[in-house]
């Protein structure tokens, strides 16, 4: 009986190393920050030689930026199936339909916003995105080139959609500053669960990591708050 897996080709070997380094870097950069993470620790954690950071990514900073490309792709592909119906809904509300009742528009907008933010709750709280979210937060505290990557590839589209729905829910068609401000306060209600986790675990008397029940409670509260704020 033959082992079904191919023996690692050169391309596979290289890709495996890159992936191991990207994963370790996301974890360690997220947990401790760029400067607190040494190349040696990074390599040890990935199970590879530390010179391979230079070989595959040019430098430590190269690896850092590659982490953001990597995260941006993962987030995009996670958000794609969510954004697809959202954006067709957006087009239906802005262009296609003319005789939609006002109250119906508002209801559909609030629904869309809830969908967006509940998905954001997942990204913020799922263990698989935990490190990614931390890396992004750190980058925002002291932005470099890497922030551009994240903003252009993921955030911009998300924030724009959210803001547009808020605008539409108020019966207008062109978003203004108050809509954008509102979108930020809505995002904040979710983001806080990643950023202030140390305080939250104290305040809620949770032990990390909190489970699915807590996640559901958070989603319910967010949905309820959105409804109250926008209705």
Partner DNA sequence: AAATATTAATCAAACGATTAAATTAGTCAA
Partner DNA sequence: TTGACTAATTTAATCGTTTGATTAATATTT
- Nearest partner of 183 among 205, 213, 155, judged by Cα: 155
φ, ψ of residue 221 to 5 degrees: the values are: -65, -45
Query: Least separation, in Å, of the C-beta of 193 and DNA?
Result: 30
Query: Least separation, in Å, of the C-beta of 177 and a second copy?
Result: 7
Query: Least separation, in Å, of the C-beta of 146 and DNA?
Result: 15
Choose the one of DNA, a second copy, none that binds residue 171, judging by a C-beta under 5 to 8 angstroms depending on kind. none
Choose the one of DNA, a second copy, none that binds residue 13, judging by a C-beta under 5 to 8 angstroms depending on kind. DNA
Choose the one of a second copy, DNA, none that binds residue 40, judging by a C-beta under 5 to 8 angstroms depending on kind. DNA
- Residue closer to a second copy, measured from CB, 198 or 212: 198
- Residue closer to a second copy, measured from CB, 89 or 130: 130
- Residue closer to DNA, measured from CB, 41 or 229: 41
Query: Least separation, in Å, of the C-beta of 45 and a second copy?
Result: 16
Interaction site with DNA (CB under 7 A): 7-14, 16-17, 35, 37-41, 48-56, 59-61
- Residue closer to a second copy, measured from CB, 85 or 171: 171
- Token readout for 228 is 């109250």
Choose the one of a second copy, DNA, none that binds residue 142, judging by a C-beta under 5 to 8 angstroms depending on kind. a second copy
Specify whether the backbone of 93 is left (phi greater than 0), alpha (psi in -120 to 50) or beta. alpha
Question: 186: burial class by Cβ within 10 Å (0-12, 13-18, 19+)?
Answer: buried
Mark out the alpha helices in 33-144 (DSSP H runs): 39-46, 51-57, 60-91, 102-125, 127-141
Taking CA atoms, 158 is separated from 30, 74, 86, 121, in Å, by: 22, 14, 10, 14
Question: In this structure, are residues 154 and 76 in contact, taking their beta carbons and an 8 Å threshold?
Answer: yes
Interaction site with a second copy (CB under 8 A): 31-36, 134, 137-143, 147, 151, 155-156, 159, 163, 177-178, 180-185, 187-193, 195-200, 202-204, 217-218, 221-222, 225, 228-229, 231
φ, ψ of residue 29 to 5 degrees: the values are: -60, -40
- Residue closer to DNA, measured from CB, 31 or 107: 31
Query: Least separation, in Å, of the C-beta of 31 and a second copy?
Result: 6
* CA distance linking residue 114 with residue 56, whole number of Å: 41
Query: Least separation, in Å, of the C-beta of 118 and DNA?
Result: 38
**Residues 19, 24, 26: CA angle, nearest 5 degrees:** 95
- Residue closer to DNA, measured from CB, 142 or 208: 142
């Amino acid at each position: 009986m033959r082992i079904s897996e191919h023996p690692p080709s050169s391309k596979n070997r290289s890709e495996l190393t890159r992936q191991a380094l990207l994963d370790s870097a996301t974890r360690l950069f997220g947990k401790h920050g760029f400067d607190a993470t040494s190349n040696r620790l990074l390599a040890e954690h990935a199970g590879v030689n530390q010179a391979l950071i230079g070989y595959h990514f040019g430098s430590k900073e190269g690896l850092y930026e590659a982490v953001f490309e990597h995260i941006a792709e993962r987030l995009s592909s996670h958000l794609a199936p969510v954004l697809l119906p959202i954006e067709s809904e957006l087009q239906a509300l802005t262009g296609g339909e003319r005789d939609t009742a006002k109250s119906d528009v508002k209801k559909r907008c609030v629904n869309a916003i809830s969908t967006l933010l509940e998905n954001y709750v997942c990204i913020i709280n799922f263990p698989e995105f935990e490190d990614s979210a931390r890396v992004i937060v750190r980058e925002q505290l002291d932005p470099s080139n890497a922030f551009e990557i994240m903003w252009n590839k993921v955030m911009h589209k998300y924030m724009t959609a959210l803001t547009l729905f808020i605008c539409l829910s108020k019966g207008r068609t062109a978003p203004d500053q108050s809509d954008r401000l509102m979108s930020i306060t809505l995002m904040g209600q979710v983001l806080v669960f990643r950023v202030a986790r140390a305080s939250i675990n104290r305040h809620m008397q949770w032990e990390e990591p909190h489970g699915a029940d807590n996640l559901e409670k958070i989603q319910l509260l967010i949905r309820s708050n959105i409804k109250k704020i926008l209705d």
